[in-house]
Amino acid sequence: MKVLVAVKRVVDYNVKVRVKPDNSGVDLANVKMSMNPFCEIAVEEAVRLKEKGVASEIVVVSIGPTQAQEQLRTALALGADRAILVESADELNSLAVAKLLKAVVDKEQPQLVILGKQAIDSDNNQTGQMLAALTGYAQGTFASKVEVSGDKVNVTREIDGGLQTVALNLPAIVTTDLRLNEPRYASLPNIMKAKKKPLETLTPDALGVSTASTVKTLKVEAPAARGAGIKVKSVAELVEKLKTEAKVI
């Protein structure tokens, strides 16, 4: 079966971002960008499904600026077969991304679509669920285990109190949680080979999708800073402070 994996180019998770002085957003100039960590897990899961003989082809798609080609090449080096870039210079909201992905799903007809559960920049946790709604497919969000059997996929999900397992009819949408797998690194020969794999570029216009949004960001601020704390010398002093100064125990 064909698996479609969505990946996003985001600021590297190790970067401590700074808010711009004019409060228009965070400063991403000259900041290291990477594939969103949850998307890496999605690519890894697709590759493992191919290694098990479950998946026959892996198509990886990204929606973003021209530079998102780097992340698509990374996915190709990890084992994806071909890539699609839907090029858009604007920062898109989840609904617009889901609509673009729906157009790609209509074109590619995958049996399984794997996304990360959330991107570490917008922290939205929406796109997979929205794509499921638009396609009418079932969704297995926050997956820590994915097992395809026949025309169904069993997904074990991380929920607040523990784990839940659901059986979804294929085609289905799965979003990855951290513990689904440990993503591999791309080897140098594979990085070289990935440069020759096909990468198709599309635009929202060509897909006939409007990316207009009903939500706009008015400003972005730094969070309130915590007052400087103190170091205590002993456990006794700590307990004393908690009882008399902070009055929390």
Footprint of another protein on residues 91-120 (CB under 8 A)? 93-95, 98, 117-118, 120
Nearer to another protein, 53 or 136 (CB): 136
Report how far apart, in Å, the C-alpha atoms of 56 and of each of 38, 47, 53, 191, 214 are: 22, 10, 7, 21, 39
Query: Torsion over CA of 187, 37, 126 and 50, rounded to 10 degrees?
Result: 30
Alpha-carbon span 47 to 78, nearest angstrom: 8
- Tokens representing 77 are 């080096």
For residues 196, 28, 127, 142, the Cα torsion angle rounded to the nearest 10 degrees is 90
Looking at residues 12 to 51 of the shown chain, list those that interact with another protein (rule: CB under 8 A).
Answer: 13, 16-17, 19, 26
The footprint of another protein on this chain (CB under 8 A) covers a number of residues equal to 79
Residues 154-213 that bind another protein (CB under 8 A): 154, 157-169, 172, 177-179, 213
CB 152: neighbour CB atoms within 10 A? 14
Query: Of 22, 208, 229, 244, which lies in the binding site for another protein, with binding defined by CB under 8 A?
Result: 229
Find the part of the chain contacting another protein (CB under 8 A) among 47-55, 75-83, 89-97, 197-205. 89-97
DSSP sequence for 93-125: PHHHHHHHHHHHHHHH--SEEEEES--TTT---
Candidates 49, 100, 115, 130; binder of another protein (CB under 8 A) is: 130
Nearest distance, CB of residue 211 and another protein, angstroms: 11
Q: Of 131-150, which residues contact another protein (CB under 8 A)?
A: 131-134, 136-139, 141-142, 144
Using CA atoms, how far apart are residues 179 and 181, in angstroms rounded to an integer? 5
Q: Which of 168, 163, 89 is nearest to 132 (CA)?
A: 168
- Give the residue with the Cβ less far from another protein, 69 or 181: 181
For residues 53 and 223, which CB has a smaller minimum distance to another protein in the complex?
Answer: 223
Nearer to another protein, 206 or 239 (CB): 239
Contact region for another protein (CB under 8 A) — 63-71, 190-198, 201-209, 215-223? 215-223
Q: How far is the CB of 88 from another protein (least distance, A)?
A: 16
